[in-house]
Chain A
Amino acid sequence: MKAQLLHIFRNTPFGRETLLESSYFCKTLEIEIVVYIPRTAKFLMYFENDVVQVDLDRSYLTSPETAETHASEIIRSAGLEPQFFEPQDYTASTLPDIPTHFDYMCCPRSIVDLSSKIGLGYLGPRVRRIVNSARFPVYIPNAVFKVWKSVAVFFGGSVNGVKAVRLGQKISQLSGFPLRVFTQLEGNSREGYESVVKERQIEEAMENWTVFDSGPFQENLYEVPHDALVVLGAYGHGLIKQLAFGSKMELIQSVLSNSMVIVGPHCGT
């Protein structure tokens, strides 16, 4: 079965940009896109060990009559066949269940600054919970459609970091775009990372490996190409840092404008 990406469509110009992003992602990786046009402002996703309620912004319910046409147009213009998803199960009459068997899911960025609502719905903390529970990587697109031409992976040496490298490699192979790996040495030595690379047999992916051994992380991020798809693993570094997880992902997301793919702890490769 072909891989599928779930996209929740917002029938507004901002939603158009996100759908263009998703369509390009799917076209490049040759996966199918499945669109859900929300009829209610909330829905539930049941994962293995968690149920996440997603509360959407009212703007997601804009003009439902034209939503399907608009979405189909955008998807077809990217050269894909649109598929629409209708929920079958409902937990309550206004609370549909969205299944979680997809291979990727497109979640819009969190709103960092509430006053600038270029983000798309109050999804921030929910995105974190989805990433934590899902078996699929979460794709967080740019606010404005931009074609990406390379893949940039952040490798921190943890289990999720390795998964991110493997996913980055797969994306690079499928798309034909070059792969670069970035690591910030936070006081640890390079040998430590190299031994992990060897142990997990990901040497192939590390051909183009940039290691930052000095300078604050934010500033080093400038090295990441502006037209790269960023891939990183969530929950890299243990329980304490887990609580501070938001800051790592939010940091990258607030500094870089690239689209991102986040690999959570339950993702299989």
Chain B
Amino acid sequence: MFSKSKSPSLRFLLARGISRIDERLLLITIAIFVGACGGLAAVLLNRLLLDIQHILHPLRTYWYAFVLPACGAALSSLFLGHVVKEGPGHGVPEVIYSVSKRGGLLRLRSSFSRLVSSALTIASGGSAGPEAPVVMSGASIGSNIAKMFNLNDRQRVAMVGCGAASAISSIFNAPIAGIVFSVEVILGEWTPINLIPIAIASVIGTEVSRLMQGNQIPFAHHRFHTSLLDIVASVGIAILAGLSSVLFTRMLNKTAEASHRLVRHDWIRAALGGATVGFIGIGLPVVLGEGYDVVRTILENQYEYGLVLVALGALAKIVATSLTIGTGGSGGIFAPCLVIGSLGGLAYYRMLDFIWPSIPWAEEGFFAMLGMAGVMSGALQAPLTGIFLIVEVTGSYAVILPLILVSAISATLCHYLEPVSFYYERLVSRGELLRPRTDARLLADLSVSELIEKDAIVVQEDTRLGDMIPLIEQASRDSFPVEDSKTGDFLGLIRLDDLRPFLFNKNLYAAIIMGEIMDVHVPRVSPHDDTKAVLELMDHTRTESLPVVQGSKFLGMVSKLTILDRYRKELIVESCQEV
């Protein structure tokens, strides 16, 4: 009960000793733990998917098989909405929002809820991938482990990055892709202090996956023989992939928006989406599920269908994925990108072969791979992730040159047409995508309540000009707020510039009162206003300082000079990460 069993200084030294353990070492240790858990989460989802698919497989031959995706999607939606009481949503934008604005705080329930809901959606035939849910699980695991150790915002964000990286690494058996994705998409910054723990978590995640599932390259294939012409043709596939990504992103957004407008209840909406996908799946089974087997077949050069069917398949996959994810199904867009890309690439190859049959093009698998890289880089607008992921999952470092080419072109094209990727779309529209060390981020950190200065001398509306003289003498500002003498409400502002013409005219000292010359229309700032908005207001009204008013009470002044000074301090402490 009484906390002083040892002398205070000894306890303090002990506490200090523990905190003194080098921060980097601490982060690495926790990262190992996070990596293991994240890896396990991914393995768990994989097992769930396999098992449920196995159970449902015999049912697919029946005519009513189209109902399966509908049930899966509806169950998933009900589970998320009512059992774990988590809102519907893709998950990755939520992680990015939390990293941007909330220091990486994520709910504990997110660490397992998405695993279950996406298993339901995908295994029943929904067109989505298991990656986004597993990213969210990993991120949430990282966040909550960080919470256990009482880490601060910066460290917690690093742990979220670790969780996300280990999840991706584990599910694809691709450690580098995990690191790159985490840094490029989730965190948005490369810093030395983040990189090592993330790399370690990624490796641990991969190891867990290899231990439990064996070390295989997901999409192995034999070597491709490429020539210069193929490199030239790559440009074509890049453009095609870019356009497909744009189409995909737009379709996702539109479907989400339209279905939300048309159908009120979440689970009905999900069920309808699932049913439609089921229908499409009857004619084109390629659209169902995450589609990895389709990709494998194509890379093995064994996909039998002709140009038209393949192209149709790609389009259908775009539609089906939009329907699944847009209506509230739980899943990610990685896998669908791979499928769309490989189908698209295959179609491109068939077309090339048709138009110029004499040229010895590289095999279909080659173009399929390029297609995958292109669509991934375009849809995520993360070219590095696209490149590294494809290299690692296909084990084909040899074709990295055309891969880079295609990724770069596709991402650029996509960015030009659709500046904001699917992940960031919601965040950017609300101004909530705050990447570290950007102007927006720094300003968001500074709140008006931190910037208020309370040294202005307050006067009343009946204060005479003559009475102002001694006040001006003592004042350290050149603005004087005017308050109502009876109620104390803020009425307006007097600036020294307004008084200057009359200051030296004795005759006016008793004649002018502050109530007459104050500015009642001075724009007021509220303590909860956005600092960015305050700066814009100052620019707009060409003022250097403004009064902060709450209710009708004057609280203090906020000035541009102070904002600049604090902004600079924020930038300094933000940039030097070595504590």
A–B contact (CB under 8 angstroms)? yes
Pick the contact of A51: B2, B89, B105, B527 (CB < 8 A).
B105
- Hey, which chain A residues are within 8 Å of B3, CB to CB? 158-159
Residue ranges of B at the interface with A (Cβ–Cβ < 8 Å): 1-3, 85, 87-89, 94, 97-98, 101-102, 105-107, 109, 147, 150, 426, 430, 432, 449, 527, 550-551, 553, 555
Interface 1/0s, chain A 16-36, versus B by CB < 8 A? 000000000000000010000
CA of A91 to CA of B89, assembled, Å: 10
Given A51-B105, A89-B101: A157 in contact with B87 (beta carbons within 8 A): no
CA of A92 to CA of B109, assembled, Å: 15
CA of A81 to CA of B3, assembled, Å: 44
Contact between B1 and A51 (Cβ–Cβ < 8 Å)? no
Sort A-B residue pairs by CB-CB distance and give the 6 closest, nearest first: A51-B105, A92-B87, A92-B89, A94-B87, A95-B87, A46-B102
- Hey, which chain B residues are within 8 Å of A226, CB to CB? none
Contact between B147 and A49 (Cβ–Cβ < 8 Å)? yes
- Hey, which chain A residues are within 8 Å of B1, CB to CB? 156-158, 188, 192, 236-238
6 contacts between A and B (CB under 8 A): A44-B107, A50-B105, A51-B106, A93-B426, A101-B449, A236-B1
Shortest C-beta distance, B528 to chain A (Å), equals: 8
CA of A32 to CA of B550, assembled, Å: 11
Contact between B555 and A1 (Cβ–Cβ < 8 Å)? yes
- Hey, which chain B residues are within 8 Å of A67, CB to CB? none
If A81-B551, A93-B89, A188-B1 are given as contacts, then 12 extra A-B residue pairs at C-beta distance below 8 Å, sorted by A number, are: A2-B550, A44-B107, A46-B102, A50-B147, A89-B101, A89-B430, A90-B430, A91-B94, A94-B88, A95-B87, A97-B102, A192-B1
- Hey, which chain A residues are within 8 Å of B94, CB to CB? 91-92
| Closest B residue to A52 using CB positions | B107
Contact between B432 and A89 (Cβ–Cβ < 8 Å)? yes
| A55 within 8 Å of B (CB atoms) | yes
Contact between A1 and B107 (Cβ–Cβ < 8 Å)? no
| Closest A residue to B256 using CB positions | A93
- Hey, which chain A residues are within 8 Å of B2, CB to CB? 157, 192, 196
Shortest C-beta distance, B327 to chain A (Å), equals: 14
Interface residue range, chain A: 20 to 34
CA of A236 to CA of B89, assembled, Å: 40
| A257 within 8 Å of B (CB atoms) | no
Shortest C-beta distance, B267 to chain A (Å), equals: 14
Contact between B107 and A46 (Cβ–Cβ < 8 Å)? no
CA of A91 to CA of B109, assembled, Å: 15
| A53 within 8 Å of B (CB atoms) | yes
Pick the contact of B87: A93, A156, A159 (CB < 8 A).
A93
CA of A44 to CA of B88, assembled, Å: 15
CA of A149 to CA of B574, assembled, Å: 50
Shortest C-beta distance, B482 to chain A (Å), equals: 20
- Hey, which chain B residues are within 8 Å of A44, CB to CB? 107
- Hey, which chain A residues are within 8 Å of B105, CB to CB? 46, 49-51
| Closest B residue to A50 using CB positions | B147
Pick the contact of A91: B88, B98, B147 (CB < 8 A).
B98
Chain B: interface secondary structure?
A: loop
Residue ranges of A at the interface with B (Cβ–Cβ < 8 Å): 1-2, 32, 42, 44, 46, 49-51, 53, 55, 81, 83, 89-95, 97, 101, 156-159, 188, 192, 196, 236-238
CA of A95 to CA of B2, assembled, Å: 42
Shortest C-beta distance, B75 to chain A (Å), equals: 19
Shortest C-beta distance, A52 to chain B (Å), equals: 9
CA of A210 to CA of B324, assembled, Å: 65
Contact between A51 and B87 (Cβ–Cβ < 8 Å)? no
Contact between A1 and B97 (Cβ–Cβ < 8 Å)? no
Shortest C-beta distance, A244 to chain B (Å), equals: 14
Contact between B85 and A51 (Cβ–Cβ < 8 Å)? no
Shortest C-beta distance, A196 to chain B (Å), equals: 6
CA of A188 to CA of B2, assembled, Å: 10
Contact between A42 and B147 (Cβ–Cβ < 8 Å)? no
Shortest C-beta distance, A51 to chain B (Å), equals: 4
| Closest B residue to A157 using CB positions | B1
Contact between B527 and A1 (Cβ–Cβ < 8 Å)? yes
Interface-centre pick from A32, A51, A93, A156 (highest chain B CB count, 10 A): A51
- Hey, which chain B residues are within 8 Å of A89, CB to CB? 101, 430, 432
- Hey, which chain A residues are within 8 Å of B426, CB to CB? 93
CA of A95 to CA of B107, assembled, Å: 12
Contact between A55 and B85 (Cβ–Cβ < 8 Å)? yes
| Closest A residue to B449 using CB positions | A1
Shortest C-beta distance, B307 to chain A (Å), equals: 41
Contact between A51 and B102 (Cβ–Cβ < 8 Å)? yes
- Hey, which chain A residues are within 8 Å of B87, CB to CB? 42, 92-95
Shortest C-beta distance, A15 to chain B (Å), equals: 21
- Hey, which chain B residues are within 8 Å of A53, CB to CB? 85, 107, 109
- Hey, which chain B residues are within 8 Å of A83, CB to CB? 551
Shortest C-beta distance, B253 to chain A (Å), equals: 13
| Closest B residue to A85 using CB positions | B528
- Hey, which chain A residues are within 8 Å of B89, CB to CB? 92-93
- Hey, which chain B residues are within 8 Å of A1, CB to CB? 449, 527, 550, 555
Interface-centre pick from A2, A49, A157 (highest chain B CB count, 10 A): A49
CA of A156 to CA of B3, assembled, Å: 12
- Hey, which chain A residues are within 8 Å of B551, CB to CB? 32, 81, 83
CA of A45 to CA of B266, assembled, Å: 24
Shortest C-beta distance, B20 to chain A (Å), equals: 20
Shortest C-beta distance, A85 to chain B (Å), equals: 10
- Hey, which chain B residues are within 8 Å of A91, CB to CB? 94, 97-98, 102
Shortest C-beta distance, B6 to chain A (Å), equals: 14
Shortest C-beta distance, B38 to chain A (Å), equals: 19
- Hey, which chain B residues are within 8 Å of A42, CB to CB? 85, 87
| Closest A residue to B101 using CB positions | A89
Contact between A49 and B85 (Cβ–Cβ < 8 Å)? no
CA of A87 to CA of B109, assembled, Å: 23
| Closest A residue to B146 using CB positions | A49
- Hey, which chain B residues are within 8 Å of A236, CB to CB? 1
Shortest C-beta distance, B32 to chain A (Å), equals: 22
Shortest C-beta distance, B99 to chain A (Å), equals: 12
- Hey, which chain B residues are within 8 Å of A49, CB to CB? 105, 147, 150
Interface-centre pick from B105, B432, B550 (highest chain A CB count, 10 A): B105
CA of A89 to CA of B100, assembled, Å: 12
CA of A196 to CA of B3, assembled, Å: 10
CA of A2 to CA of B551, assembled, Å: 10
